[in-house]
A and B are shown apart, each in its own frame.
Chain A
Amino acid sequence: MSTISRDEVARVAALARIDLSPEEVDRFAGELDVIVESIARVREVATPDVPATSHPLPMTNVFREDVPTPALPVADVLAAAPDAEDGRFAVPQILGEE
């Protein structure tokens, strides 16, 4: 019995900007239970008194000298782009008509 519904998978796929076929939505709805099982397991020991660790070796305020360094050549970067125009990335329409 799946605890994550098809609708939930479709909603999350839309948030993640991934087009899924109806068959993929069905399949993932069955497989995403792994996360529900994982969270149940983790909650057995993740009690309020335990602090969280984000990085293995904590470092704060990692600075570098405030010296300009050259950026990548524009032509090299645009050569790898799907589309370019006038020295810039060319992208599809971003704003709606209305």
Chain B
Amino acid sequence: MTDLTRLSAARLAELLAAGEASSVEATRAHLDRIAAVDGDVHAYLHVSDEVALATAADVDARRAAGEELHPLAGVPIAVKDVVVTKGTPSTAGSKILEGWIPPYDATLVEKIRAAGLPILGKTNMDEFAMGSSTEHSAYGNTHNPWDLERIPGGSGGGSAAAVAAFEAPLAIGTDTGGSIRQPGAVTGTVGVKPTYGGVSRYGLIAMASSLDQAGPVTRTVLDSALLHELIGGHDPRDSTSIPEPLPPIVAAAREGALGDLSGLRVGVVTQLQGEGYQAGVLARFHESLELLTKAGAEIVEVSCPSFEYALAAYYLIMPSEASSNLAKFDGMRFGLRVEPEEGPVTAERVMAATRGAGFGDEVKRRVILGTYALSAGYYDAYYGSAQKVRTLIQRDFDAAFAAADVLVSPTAPTTAFRFGEKLDDPLAMYLNDVATIPANLAGVPGISVPNGLATSDDGAALPTGFQILAPAKADDRLYRVGAALESALESSWGAPLLARAPELG
């Protein structure tokens, strides 16, 4: 019998629709897989067996009754723990929310439930999405399925590892500076950051509101398109949500898979290669460019000089917005409350004691950075100056997209590193996101597609990712080019990249 955990979501959906497998079987197969391997991988913070199986049974019954169902109905999914789920714990990887059960669903979760996808559980992440390795989770590291001694990327390392380890065919991630795409690159999976405003942020525990965006985490480009189409679209509860229909992303993925990119101009960004990028990462990148050329695309070089200032601008904007968003964790209305050990028990002193005890190191660091940047006298010079860099980066994108239809780069400068390697050096950790941050600052969409294995500095063969960026609201281009590259790569390999990952359990 087919192992239902090894199929793409699209293929599993076909089997379900044809009655060749049931959603209960598919959900149980994934729950069994989680039980078998998640002790090693630790992708999940919470597994909701009963709720998932109840959803699956309901979908099977409705299908048997001849009801018209969503194409992904019955296909199980994992949700990053930064997204609130009614009745299921949502901690955002923080002790300050340990045991918190949200009284409502995020809009994207409402859509997932309405379409009948069983939610397997909540995935691990860096606390409040602050990190690039999941080492900042208050609940322990997630391990990379390719090598359990290495990081799975972050902040959405749990979602990427769950999909890479066949513990879910689909997962939800969020991306503020690369938290969907960079984990995708280092785990050999696909991750998409949609255009800012393309997927509702209602019910996401916010880090940096002008940068955060939720998106799909999957094993194939088509699966990402199917999930993106389900969760995307206008939401009146998010005033930054784009009040227009999504572009035809699923059709673009299917068309791209046919492999013809004739007439497409692909821009290689000068600033996103070279120094700091591993030799193997660059070698895979250039091979992928050759495949795009063979498919008919024209490669052009584009320069985005302001990208060199993106990291600095990001590390002013992100902590500023985070310090404001995280002010709500004050021990008054939800989450942890800690009373001071001595002295009067006033609200103000309870807030400080609660936040001192409930926040981890990286969260404290960023909240203090942000509070400093926004404090009296500094606002214009700090946050204001960083916002000017955003304008310059947008102008660079505008100029680049006049010369090219999509822009490309390696997703992450290196393959997965070992736990602890960069933990004591925040700047080295931040450099993981050097290629992904410009898209967040400008709001443009990006995808990471697995494009091979590279030899790391210490001799291990590990996955690399190819990043494609498109103009705002042109997310369909990511899928067309991503699917074409995926199909060319898989023909050359004879199988998906993940077929080469070690067996777990």
**A interface residues with partner B (beta carbon < 8 Å):** 4, 8-9, 12-20, 24, 28, 31-32, 34-35, 37-39, 41-47, 50-57, 59, 62, 64, 72-73, 76-77, 79-83, 89, 91-94, 96
User: For residues 337 through 372 of chain B, which have their beta carbon under 8 Å from a beta carbon of chain A?
Assistant: 337, 339-340, 344-353, 355-357, 359, 361, 364-365, 367-369, 371-372
Residue pair B337, A83 in contact (C-beta under 8 Å)? yes
Give A92 to B364 CA distance when docked, in angstroms: 23
* Interface residue from A18, A34, A57 paired with B352 (Cβ < 8 Å): A18
Cβ–Cβ contact B352 & A17, under 8 A: yes
Are B348 and A17 touching (Cβ within 8 A)?
A: yes
Q: Are A42 and B313 interface neighbours, CB within 8 A?
A: yes
* Contact across chains for B353 and A19 when beta carbons are under 8 A apart: yes
- Contacts known (A12-B375, A31-B426, A82-B331); A42 close to B391, Cβ less than 8 A: no
Residues from chain A with Cβ under 8 Å of B48 in the complex: none
Residue numbers in A under 8 Å from B442 (CB-CB): 56
Q: Which residues 303-328 in B have Cβ within 8 Å of A in the complex?
A: 306, 309, 311-313, 315-316, 319, 323, 327
Q: How far is the CA of A55 from the CA of B196 in the complex (A)?
A: 9
Q: How far is the CA of A11 from the CA of B332 in the complex (A)?
A: 23
Count of chain B residues near A, Cβ 8 A: 76
Say yes or no: B347 contacts A91, CB within 8 Å: yes
B169 to chain A, nearest CB (A): 30
In the complex, the chain A residue whose C-beta lies closest to that of B473 is A57
Residues of B within 8 A of A (CB): 100-104, 195-197, 210, 236, 239-240, 242, 306, 309, 311-313, 315-316, 319, 323, 327, 330-337, 339-340, 344-353, 355-357, 359, 361, 364-365, 367-369, 371-373, 375, 381-382, 384-392, 394, 426-427, 441-444, 472
Residues of B within 8 A of A14 (CB): 352
Q: Which residue of B lies closest to A64 (CB)?
A: B236
Q: A41-B309, A80-B103, A92-B347 are in contact. Are A57 and B196 (CB under 8 A)?
A: yes
Assuming the contacts A50-B388, A55-B210, asked whether A16 and B371 have C-beta atoms less than 8 A apart, the reply is yes
**Which of B103, B306, B352, B382 contacts A19 (CB under 8 A)?**
B352
Inter-chain contact A50/B391, CB cutoff 8 Å: yes
Cβ–Cβ < 8 Å partners of A59 in chain B: 239-240
A34 CA to B323 CA, complexed, in Å: 16
From B345, which residue of chain A is reached at the shortest CB distance? Answer: A92
- The complex places the Cα of A34 from the Cα of B311 at a distance, in Å, of 11
Quote the shortest CB–CB distance from A60 to chain B (angstroms): 10
Nearest CB in chain A to that of B197: its residue: A57
B392 touches A50 (CB 8 A): yes
A52 to B379, CA, bound (A): 13
A18 and B375 contacting across the interface, CB-CB below 8 Å: no
Chain B's closest residue to A52 (CB) is: B387
Q: How far is the CA of A63 from the CA of B369 in the complex (A)?
A: 34
Contacts of A93 in B (CB 8 A): 344-347
What is the CA–CA distance of A42 and B234 in the complex, to the nearest angstrom?
A: 34
A57 adjacent to B443 (CB under 8 Å): yes
| Alpha-carbon distance A39/B374, docked complex (angstroms) | 13
Query: Contacts A17-B352, A52-B387, A56-B210 given: A72-B368 contact, CB under 8 Å?
Result: no
Cα A80 to Cα B199 in complex, Å, equals 27
Q: B439 to nearest A CB, angstroms?
A: 9
Give the contacting residue for B368; candidates A32, A42, A45, A53; CB below 8 A.
A32
The CA of A89 and the CA of B357, in the complex, are separated in Å by 21
CB contacts (< 8 Å) of B306 on chain A: these are 45
Contact call B367/A18, Cβ cutoff below 8 A: yes
Count CB-based A-B contacts (< 8 Å).
179
Decide if B375 touches A15 in the complex (CB within 8 Å). Answer: yes
Contact B347–A80 (Cβ < 8 Å): no
In whole angstroms, how far apart are the Cα atoms of A95 and B327 in the complex? Answer: 20
Q: Which residue of A lies closest to B341 (CB)?
A: A19
Q: What are 21 A-B contacts with C-beta separation under 8 Å?
A: A12-B372, A16-B371, A17-B351, A18-B368, A28-B368, A32-B365, A32-B369, A35-B372, A42-B316, A51-B388, A52-B384, A53-B387, A53-B394, A56-B441, A59-B239, A62-B240, A89-B332, A92-B339, A92-B349, A94-B347, A96-B346
Closest partner residue, chain A, to B385 (CB atom): A46
- Beta-carbon contact of A28 and B364 below 8 Å: yes
Query: Nearest chain-A residue to B364 (Cβ)?
Result: A18
Distance A43 CA – B383 CA, assembled complex (angstroms): 11
Contact present for A9 and B102 (CB under 8 Å): no
- CB within 8 Å for A56 and B443 given contacts A18-B367, A41-B312, A93-B346: yes
4 closest A-B pairs by CB: A56-B443, A19-B356, A82-B337, A52-B387
The residues of A that contact B323 with a CB separation of less than 8 Å are 16
B316 touches A35 (CB 8 A): yes
| Residue among B323, B332, B426 having the largest count of chain A Cβ atoms under 10 Å | B332
A residues in contact with B100, CB < 8 Å: 80
Q: How far is the CB of A44 from chain B (nearest CB, A)?
A: 7
Chain B residues with CB under 8 A of A43: 385
A80–B236 touching, CB < 8 Å:
no
User: Which of A38, A80, A81 has the most chain B CB atoms closer than 10 A to its own CB?
Assistant: A38
Contact among B367, B371, B389, B472 for A46, CB-based, below 8 A: B389
A82 in contact with B375 (CB, 8 Å)? no
Query: B371 — which chain A residues lie within 8 A by C-beta?
Result: 12, 15-16
Most chain A CB neighbours (cut-off 10 Å) among B323, B339, B361, B385: B385
8 further A-B pairs in the complex, CB-CB below 8 A; given A35-B316, A43-B385: A24-B364, A38-B313, A52-B384, A54-B387, A56-B390, A57-B197, A81-B333, A91-B332
